[in-house]
Amino acid sequence: MLLAVVTVMCGVCGWCAYRRGQAQAQAHAIAAIEACGGSVVYDYSFGWQIPPGFFGSNYKGPAPPTPHWLSDYLGVDFVHRVKAVYFSNAQKGPPTVEAFASLPSLTEIEDFGFWVYDDIGQQGWEALRECHNLRSLNITRTIHSDKSMDDLAGLGEIQQLECLAIDGHGLTPHAVRQMSRLSNLRELRLRQVTNFPTEALSEFVNLRRLEVFEFRRGGKWWLEDSLGLTTNQLAFLKDRPLLKELTLTHHKHVDSDLMEVIASLSNLELLDLTGMVGVTQRLDVLARLPSLTELNLSWTNLTNEEASVFQRLMRLETLDIHENPVDNRAIEHIASPELKRLDVRFTDCDDRCFAILAKFPKIEAFKTHRTRVTQEGAIAFKKEYPTVASNW
């Protein structure tokens, strides 16, 4: 009996010593990342979303689930592991290779390369070699040469990547084709694509989500300087049953026939067409998407008449039509009893829109900022629907 107790105690002490070493290495890695201007996310807050009732940054995320005395005594790095690293405010970098090697649970890196305007360089790629459990990688603000994409696709350690987001500056069809070598890739997000790589994208046969986002000139939307999209460019999307989410935003000149291509995506659940002026002429085809639950038509010049298609979208849970010349009549067209989130900011909706919400029993959030809604109307709505988040 005594021998068993001693054995168990030795095992516990050994594990604690091992975990203490890991915690110290993680703390040093965090210090190196923060010295570059980066930040980390621990496991207890990884993946959290802002709950209904909070807008912007007034919700700071969940508190650690462990008792304060335990975290204070053992240290947060003993109790919790780092799951994500963000470099959105980085001024220099990358951190040392050892820093990433000390984060064995790291699954997500955002804005990797934010500290340079050139290729990430050998040290950056070597750092990624230490991320054996990486699932999501966002590389931004860098020049993506063919060689850099060859280097990325050749990293055997990140073959398990499921999500890849890349700023498209300098992105060539060859570079995009190299990404298709990541066999587990399910989500691809491309920004600032100067030459739409149609043939290369056709090789991504397992995509569940695709985003092509046009974003130019100092962080502002300039639609007059954006690229157009044609049916031929999106032909590779036709009849892809695996694709669940599609985002094609801020492309000014749009071939309206591309809506036929989108309508062929029978299992599509999320569609974001922000800034795609021209698509509203063929919104009727959306009725052929039986699984559609999230739709964003902001900045598309949507009219009240074109909004009549909402009568046929019976599974909508989230609808965003802000910055369009519409009013209460657009809301009246909505027929989905599943609607939970509605955004009509910067439209001509007024106080009468609140009465329309009575037909949506599951509504959780209603954004009416910069509309014709009055303060009195907003206060009355809040009294009648205290659990619905609003931001008049």
- Which domain CATH number covers 140? 3.80.10.10
Task: For residue 251, tell me if it sits in a domain.
Answer: no
Name the burial class of residue 14, with classes exposed (0-12), middle (13-18) and buried (19+) by CB atoms within 10 angstroms of its CB.
Answer: exposed
Predicted pLDDT at 72: 65
* Domain hosting residue 191, numbered range: 21-53+61-195
Predicted pLDDT at 347: 96
Name the burial class of residue 362, with classes exposed (0-12), middle (13-18) and buried (19+) by CB atoms within 10 angstroms of its CB.
Answer: exposed
Per-residue pLDDT at 176 exceeds 60: yes
267-286 mean pLDDT = 89
Task: For residue 180, tell me if it sits in a domain.
Answer: yes
Predicted pLDDT at 70: 63
Q: pLDDT exceeding 90 applies to what percent of the chain?
A: 27
Burial 76-112 (b: 16+ CB within 10 A, else e): bbbbbbbbbbbbeebeebbbbbebbbbbeebbbbbbb
Residue-wise pLDDT tens digits, 331-378: 999 999 999 999 999 999 999 999 999 899 999 999 999 999 999 999
Higher confidence at residue 181 or residue 323?
Answer: 323
For the chain, the C-alpha Rg in angstroms (whole number) is: 24
Neighbours of 287 (CB within 10 A): 15
In this prediction, residue 133 has a pLDDT band, given cuts at 50, 70 and 90, of confident
3-state secondary structure labels for all residues of 84-142: EEECCCCCCCCCCHHHHHCCCCCCEEEEECCCCCCCCCHHHHHHHCCCCCCCEEEECCC
Cα dihedral 103, 106, 111, 113 in deg (nearest 10) = 50
Predicted pLDDT at 53: 42
Domain count, the chain: 1
What are the angstrom distances between the C-alpha of 239 and each of 4, 307, 316? 63, 26, 22
Residue type, 342: L
Lowest mean pLDDT among 41-55, 85-99, 230-244: 41-55
Q: Closest Cα to residue 143, out of 119, 177, 179, 167?
A: 119
Task: For residue 138, tell me if it sits in a domain.
Answer: yes
Mean pLDDT of the chain: 78
Task: For residue 141, tell me if it sits in a domain.
Answer: yes
Q: Closest Cα to residue 297, out of 309, 289, 288?
A: 309
Predicted pLDDT at 275: 86
Helix (H, G, I), strand (E, B) or coil at 254: strand
Partner residues linked to 209 by β-bridges: 187, 245
CA atoms of 108 and 85, how far apart (whole Å): 6
CA 159, 161, 162, 166 torsion-angle sign: negative
Predicted pLDDT at 320: 97
In this prediction, residue 131 has a pLDDT band, given cuts at 50, 70 and 90, of confident
Task: For residue 90, tell me if it sits in a domain.
Answer: yes
Q: Is residue 233 within 8 Å of residue 208, measured between CB atoms?
A: no
Residue type, 349: C
Residue-wise pLDDT tens digits, 30-87: 888 888 778 888 888 776 654 444 444 444 456 666 666 666 666 777 778 888 888 8
Higher confidence at residue 374 or residue 181?
Answer: 374
Helix/strand number for the chain, H first, E second: 12, 14
Predicted pLDDT at 117: 46
Tokens of 278: 């021209």
Partner residues linked to 137 by β-bridges: 109, 164
Predicted pLDDT at 246: 92
Task: For residue 346, tell me if it sits in a domain.
Answer: no
Predicted pLDDT at 115: 52
Predicted pLDDT at 32: 82
What are the angstrom distances between the C-alpha of 261 and each of 213, 253, 279? 18, 16, 12
Task: For residue 242, tell me if it sits in a domain.
Answer: no
381-392 mean pLDDT = 87
Predicted pLDDT at 52: 47
Task: For residue 264, tell me if it sits in a domain.
Answer: no
Q: Closest Cα to residue 344, out of 359, 333, 328, 332?
A: 328
Predicted pLDDT at 290: 92
